[in-house]
Amino acid sequence: MNETTFGLVDLQLGPVIGVGAMATVLRARTRHGHPVAVKLLLPRHMANPETVAAFALEATVQASIASPYVPAVLGTGSTDDGQPFIVMDLLQGADLAHVLGTRTNGLPRREAVDSVIDACHGADALHRAGLVHRDIKPANLFLSERPVGPPRVMLIDLGIASTTIATSSEAAAPSTVVGSADYMAPECFDASGPVDATSDVWSLGVVLFELLTGKVPFAASPRAVPSALAGSIDVDAVTPSGLGEVVARCLSRPPPSRFSSALELADALQPYASNPKDTPTLVPPPPR
């Protein structure tokens, strides 16, 4: 990890640009004028040592992943009263949840596919580091503007991924239900198997369906059996049919029937992207 440490004297804090369950994110500048984002642990979590440790580990995890699809960590610091924060590259743009909120029926097909291909590369960077994100959803996919080239989707908020490796093997087992219900794979609910890269592939499939149609394939249910376990998806809502088959394979309930990696999913999506490959990837249909 970048061992640079910051104090508040090194930063000129600006407005709040985001508030989550664990932290507040502020716009800031370093003493050299470099724009950054500061993720500050909320005061109410300071009394929980596990949350403080998970926040610190999130910084370590994110800083160890060198990928253009994951925001870079520039260093860490703490306030005078010990409130920890993470200093990261400042992203310009909006998350995909916000983008979806401005569209009635989802995104244009190529825009949706390009976004998920970018997300696949971010997820792959985590998987190669031995991590599972466990909370891939539009709110954690940030459409970042760049000085040159089209916007790029960045995978953000690695807090749950950090928790996965911060706890014991029992705590990180699939019986621990973490994540957002609309996007969680069945094994995250019912302990039917390990939570691994294919669990993130499921989430990427849900995101793809939502970006293409404007709705999630499975609605979160207050019942004992979540819709992801009992419901079925309308693959015909996704066109062309080959792209629907890609979505269906992502959402195969047996994990071995899904794409084995995020990069395999990205490769299968290439024929439907803005710059498609010459030879489409054939996607076998999921088992009935």
- Whether 278 is catalytic: no
Asked if 264 and 117 touch (Cβ cutoff 8 Å), the reply is no
**Integer-rounded Cα radius of gyration of the chain:** 19
158/132 Cα distance (integer angstroms): 9
Which residue is catalytic, options 95, 114, 124, 135?
A: 135
Three-class SS string for the chain?
Answer: CCCCEECHHHEEEEEEEEECCCEEEEEEEECCCCEEEEEEECHHHCCCHHHHHHHHHHHHHHHHCCCCCCCCEEEEEECCCCCEEEEEECCCEEEHHHHHHCCCCCCCHHHHHHHHHHHHHHHHHHHHCCCCCCCCCHHHEEEECCCCCCCEEEECCCHHHHHHHHCCCCCCCCCCCCCCHHHCCHHHHHCCCCCCHHHHHHHHHHHHHHHHHCCCCCCCCCCCCCHHHHCCCCHHHCCCHHHHHHHHHHCCCCHHHCCCCHHHHHHHHHHHCCCCCCCCCCCCCCCC
Give the residue numbers marked as catalytic.
135
